[in-house]
Amino acid sequence: MAEPIKKRVINSLVEVLKIKKEDIDDALKLQKTKGISFDRALIEKGLVNEEDLLSLLVKELQIPFINLKRMKIDLTFKEIIPEQVSRQYHVMPVSRIGKTMTVAIADPLNIFVIDDLRNISGHDIEIVMSTDSDIMRAIDNYYGGGLSSSVQDISKDISAGDLEIVSDQEGMEEVATGADAGEQAPIIRMVNLVIREGLKQRASDIHMEPMVDAVRVRYRIDGILREAMKIPKENQNAVIVRLKIMSRLDITASRVPQDGRFKMQIGVQEVDFRVSMLPTTFGQKIVLRILDKKNLKVGLGGLGFSAHSLDLLAQAIKKPFGMVLVTGPTGSGKSTTLYSIINELNTIDKNIITVEEPVEYLVDGLTQIQVRSDIGLTFASGLRAILRQSPDIVMVGEIRDFETSDIAIKASLTGQLVFSTLHTNDASGALTRLVDMGVEPFLVASSLVLVCAQRLCRRICVQCKKPVEIPEEILKDLKYAVPKGTIFYEGKGCDICRQTGYLGRLGVTEVLDVDDTVREMLIKGEPADKIKGYAQKNKGMKTLWEDVMEKFIKGDTTLEEVLRISSND
């Protein structure tokens, strides 16, 4: 770029964006030292963000801006501008008319790039502007760095012979334990690629769903399903067989649901996968639940409990006997909370036994029992057998019926500390739900120590967090005392959070301490709302709504998430 243009841009940086001249001089020194572009130097120094700089350059240089996310790019450009050149110069070809090629560029100040592209391509070069992150993402997707392209490339190598080898080998279970094992077989590479990408994107579940003409792959990230790619329909059976072999399931059974598990070693990290297969109209749907044991090591303090709620929970789990319930819908983090509690209590002097359907995490030091209803091993029968094993602590995966709840409650009254889950909307609803199941109110009152209702809300990505205005009338509709001057936030979307604006999740909890007054109200048949009102007024209990609103006001989550997981009823 000619010097006068560079000076004009620098003047605009000073006058429009109020950047100090000495800071710009530092950026110029960094540019020379590291051999990077001027715009990269400005961003690395933290003087300007990518979008503001792009807006200034577009206005100052009168260069059009293009949104690469909406562009469908001609595949023939690969022959004109090779991937290596595109990555080296951070440019992306977008269109061609005759001998003129248009390329997207993040640094229009570098005239040498344009000259080199002209010589390499043999075309006259017109430039448009885009952000560097969008250009690099487009390069990944266009030149085959994206997940979908990789799977398509692998699928081209799969032949009928490959499928036959996979389905006939009985010793493949050992191969499945290593992420890099069996890389020579295309179908193995395809399955491993899908799993690795799920781990890379922090997915909790991988869904492989057979459609009419393809197999759709979706990842559940921070509780929300997002489509990742499609696997060619002709590879559907091979993928199913491969996963069945890894999970040690019957590869000949396709008309009945099947459940299994396997583990993979990813570097130094060992990850468990729970596999569920369900026959559907277009074939077997597969769901892989990713069970990462490092989630259990965050401790109770990392689950998102407020200080008051955490103190109540810590006191409850130290009691020698009684029952602690965790309630909430599917996917609200109940299992993680229970396992975190059990992990805290898992010492050499305690006999801890669990009965689950299915066993989620395999934890050293625990005796874990898998429910098998087909052979008569139910929660109730398993619990009866457990009590003959002299346990100190019992975890029942879920209370579903009168028989299980009756045995669990009686166990808690005869010297065991019992943990379990229940599907209710709030904490006080758990007390009346047990009574509705047929358990005597005095037994519920005598056994229950604490009930924790919980949800999971998405956390705003700290990398792209920005203030947002919320109209006053919307805040009034919330019927919550929002402090004056509160700054609200949302995630703009960046490469770190994959343009979602969210990264990770927070626990939202409502903890009911069952004291003598609550017990008396329960025995008298008081409704759940009255029990809830008493706990709020006299015990300082925060409802789910109050807890998530606090997180919203602190800037940890968005109003969208507040309304998604709770309501002020």
Q: How far apart are CA 23 and CA 44, in angstroms?
A: 12
Cβ pair 380, 399 in contact under 8 A: no
Element (H, E) at 368: strand 367-370
For residue 403 the two structure tokens come to 């028989």
Angle between helices 160-168 and 186-200 in degrees, nearest 10? 80
Angle at 223 between CA 221 and CA 228, to 5 degrees: 35
Q: How far apart are CA 381 and CA 369, in angstroms?
A: 11
Q: Which residues pair with 511 in a beta bridge?
A: 452
How crowded is residue 442: how many other Cβ atoms within 10 Å of its Cβ?
A: 11
Give the burial string for 399-416 (b: 16+ CB within 10 Å, else e): bbeebbbbbbbbbbeeeb
Instruction: Give 350's contacts (C-beta < 8 A, 6+ positions apart).
Output: 392, 393
Angle at 406 between CA 402 and CA 408, to 5 degrees: 120
Give the burial string for 505-531 (b: 16+ CB within 10 Å, else e): bbbbbbbbbbeeebbebbeeebebeeb
For residue 157 the two structure tokens come to 């190598």
Q: What is the pLDDT along the chain (569 residues), one digit of tens a residue?
A: 445 666 777 777 777 777 888 888 887 777 776 666 777 777 777 777 777 777 777 777 788 888 887 777 776 777 788 877 887 788 888 888 888 888 888 877 777 788 888 888 888 888 888 888 788 878 877 775 556 556 666 565 555 444 433 333 333 333 333 334 334 468 888 888 898 888 888 899 999 999 999 999 999 998 889 888 888 888 899 999 999 999 989 888 888 999 998 888 766 667 889 999 999 999 999 999 988 776 666 566 677 777 888 889 989 999 999 999 999 988 888 888 888 899 889 999 999 999 988 888 888 889 999 888 878 888 888 888 988 899 999 999 889 889 889 889 988 988 899 999 998 889 999 999 999 999 999 999 999 999 999 999 999 988 889 999 998 888 888 888 888 889 999 998 887 887 889 988 888 999 999 999 999 999 999 999 999 999 999 988 999 999 999 999 999 999 999 998 887 76
Q: How far apart are CA 343 and CA 102, in angstroms?
A: 59
Q: How far apart are CA 21 and CA 353, in angstroms?
A: 67
Cβ pair 548, 508 in contact under 8 A: yes
